Amino acid sequence: MEFTFNFNILDKKTNTCAIISVFKNKELSNIGNKLNIISNNYILCEINNSGLNGKINQSLLLHNVPNIKYKRLLIIGCGNKKKFNINKYINSINKIINIIKNTNIKKIHFFLTELNIYKLNIYWKIRKAIELIEDKLYVFNKFKNKKKTFNIKKIIFYINKEKNINLAIIAIKQGIAISNSIKIVKDISNLPPNICNSSYLSMRSYRLQDIFPDKIKVFNINEKDMKKLEMNAYLSVGRESENESLMSIIKYSNHKNINKKPIVFIGKGVTFDSGGISLKNHYKMDEMKYDMCAASVVYGLMVAIAKLELPLNVIGILACCENMLGGNSYRPGDIIKTMSGINVEIINTDAEGRLIICDVLTYVKRFNPEIVIDIATLTGACIIALGNKINGLMSNSNTLSKELLNSAKISGDCTWLLPIKEEYKKKFNSKFADIVNINNNNSGGAIFAACFLSYFAKNYKWAHLDIAGTSHYNNIGATGRPLYLLIQFLLKKSKIDIPLY
């Protein structure tokens, strides 16, 4: 897709579709008004005839409007003008793409950039539009002999001031880089588990140092290394699988102070989660190939950071293995000494994510991190609590959780803070070891999982994002989320964050 911008209100080319907005009570936007005057009030008459009154999600597609050379004019209802906000902007663009993608429209002149959104400027509006458009037009074609494609090839964003040119250029550059990374994440996450195993993911990671030789170094830790490190919890989970457990460490160094403490991201990379001996139900078990979505998000995040050349030190860790069952599986009742020294009694082998991550949380201490963020498709309970549009966030630091919530809001990756309650942590007492891997509460599972992890996340600011619901949905596949949130967080940390307003 080609993205560009201009100051024009009328396009000379005839094959373009212009997109304008109308608010409640048929109030046209500025540009809408101008076009309406040029059309001798034709646009407003058509709006009246159609019954469109500007409510959110309404739309009207006009052809051959008098005096206007655009082949088509798409009018989108944007609701109450004073209440127009981030979410309505996002919804309107999603609606537009749903309409456009089933037509033969090749080129769009996009005027929603003229709308006021509280505290957000043209940079944000253009960048977000690019991200949403690319997101909506994604298809996973790899295993289809008949590939699906769309006709739309070019988007022109309207900007109204000379002084916005620089912001538009940066927005397009960043929007494209972020969208490309989202596509990479989706492509990897959607792969089947017979292809996307630990060695596939570590091979992809390893190649990053050839693509970005100045800034990226990659180390792969195999089972032999993990044994030496005493990462016994991680090793137990992957022990029965034919695919070796592998942890990829992607080090990106681009801070002017090379000793600057890094920000570390850990992604759960269970390439298939059968549940192990605590076997899952067969219903939708195929979806457990998505249990590596978080690792794939961390991979995509590292690509985006490198493409945007962020002035930071960041370490991305893909914690990969496969949870299978057989004669060599770990079992309920086993007691495992984790890398931290804490002995964990296994009650359920399907609560494997926390066992992998707990050892990585201990391992990362060697990097003396400023911040550690783990991302995981950790609990079905998080889906029950928050559905599939909201990430669960848990943290041991108020400042970190505030920063993440702020990035979530700006990026559109909805996120909700859940508490790590001290009283709940006591529920992990074990009769035979230090702690159990699950307690027998059947409620609050997302919080309890974070409570377990908090035993290991010591001596640094730590946040945990449960993305079991948001990383994939059954009808659309992988979403690439929460990459938008994480890159927004890092743009802010880079202090090259563009003023949003």
Query: Which residues carry out catalysis?
Result: 280, 354
Nearer to ligand BES, 135 or 291 (CB): 291
Ramachandran region, residue 417 (left: φ > 0; alpha: ψ -120 to 50; beta: rest): beta
Whole-angstrom Cα distance, residue 261 to residue 123? Answer: 30
291 makes contact with Zn ion (CB under 5 A): yes
CB of 282 to ligand BES, least distance (A): 14
388 makes contact with ligand BES (CB under 6 A): no
Contact segment (CB under 5 A) with Zn ion among 35-43, 185-193, 284-292, 412-420 equals 284-292
32 makes contact with ligand BES (CB under 6 A): no
Closest residue by Cα to residue 127 from 88, 151, 155, 97: 155
User: Binding string to ligand BES for residues 311 to 350, with x set by CB under 6 A, is what?
Assistant: -------------------------------------x-x
Nearer to Zn ion, 322 or 350 (CB): 350
Nearer to Zn ion, 49 or 442 (CB): 442
**Residues placed in the known binding site for Mn(2+):** 268, 273, 291, 350, 352
Nearer to Zn ion, 167 or 247 (CB): 247
379 makes contact with ligand BES (CB under 6 A): yes
CB of 193 to ligand BES, least distance (A): 13
Please report where in the chains the tokens 């994440």 appear, as a residue. 185
Whole-angstrom Cα distance, residue 386 to residue 471? Answer: 13
Please report where in the chains the tokens 């996009």 appear, as a residue. 110
Looking at 350, 403, 413, 466, which residue binds Zn ion (CB under 5 A)? Answer: 350
438 interacts with, out of ligand BES, Zn ion, none, CB within 5 to 8 A per kind = ligand BES
Looking at 77, 193, 353, 480, which residue binds Zn ion (CB under 5 A)? Answer: 353
CB of 351 to ligand BES, least distance (A): 4
Nearer to ligand BES, 14 or 443 (CB): 443
Whole-angstrom Cα distance, residue 355 to residue 374? Answer: 13
Nearer to ligand BES, 184 or 447 (CB): 447
8-state DSSP, 120:
B
Mode of pairing for the β-strands spanning 435-436 and 335-337: unpaired
Do 391 and 415 form a contact (C-beta atoms < 8 A)?
Answer: yes
Give the type of residue at 276: G
445 makes contact with ligand BES (CB under 6 A): yes
Looking at 185, 414, 468, 483, which residue binds ligand BES (CB under 6 A)? Answer: 468
Across-strand partners of 245?
Answer: none
Count of alpha carbons within 13 angstroms of residue 299, beta-carbon side: 30
379 interacts with, out of Zn ion, ligand BES, none, CB within 5 to 8 A per kind = ligand BES
Crossing angle, helix 165-189 and helix 122-136, to 10 degrees?
30
> Residue 193 burial by CB count (10 A; 0-12/13-18/19+): exposed, middle or buried?
buried
Looking at 380, 388, 405, 427, which residue binds ligand BES (CB under 6 A)? Answer: 380
Give the type of residue at 366: R
Whole-angstrom Cα distance, residue 143 to residue 126? Answer: 33
User: Binding string to Zn ion for residues 292 to 331, with x set by CB under 5 A, is what?
Assistant: ----------------------------------------
Closest residue by Cα to residue 50 from 36, 62, 35: 62
Looking at 193, 262, 353, 392, which residue binds ligand BES (CB under 6 A)? Answer: 353
Whole-angstrom Cα distance, residue 47 to residue 28? Answer: 10
**Residues placed in the known binding site:** 268, 273, 291, 350, 352
For residue 470, the SS3 value is: coil
Tokens representing 85? 């906000």
187 makes contact with Zn ion (CB under 5 A): no
DSSP string, 263-326: EEEEEEEEEEE--TTSPPPSTTGGGGGGGGHHHHHHHHHHHHHHHHT-SSEEEEEEEEEEE--S
Looking at 377, 407, 411, 454, which residue binds ligand BES (CB under 6 A)? Answer: 377
* Site residue total, ligand BES (CB under 6 A): 15
Nearer to ligand BES, 250 or 378 (CB): 378
Mode of pairing for the β-strands spanning 27-28 and 16-23: antiparallel
- Applying the rule CB under 6 A, the residues between 279 and 308 that interact with ligand BES are 291
Which CA distances in Å does 286 have to 54, 194, 197, 241, 278? 43, 11, 14, 17, 16
Tokens representing 222? 């195999």
Whole-angstrom Cα distance, residue 358 to residue 360? Answer: 5
466 makes contact with Zn ion (CB under 5 A): no
450 makes contact with ligand BES (CB under 6 A): no
Element (H, E) at 465: strand 461-466
Looking at 134, 352, 359, 374, which residue binds ligand BES (CB under 6 A)? Answer: 352
Looking at 134, 135, 273, 374, which residue binds ligand BES (CB under 6 A)? Answer: 273
135 makes contact with Zn ion (CB under 5 A): no
Nearer to ligand BES, 75 or 185 (CB): 185
485 interacts with, out of ligand BES, Zn ion, none, CB within 5 to 8 A per kind = none
Summarize as ranges the residues that interact with ligand BES (CB under 6 A).
273, 291, 348, 350-353, 377-381, 438, 445, 468
Summarize as ranges the residues that interact with Zn ion (CB under 5 A).
270, 273, 291, 350, 352-353
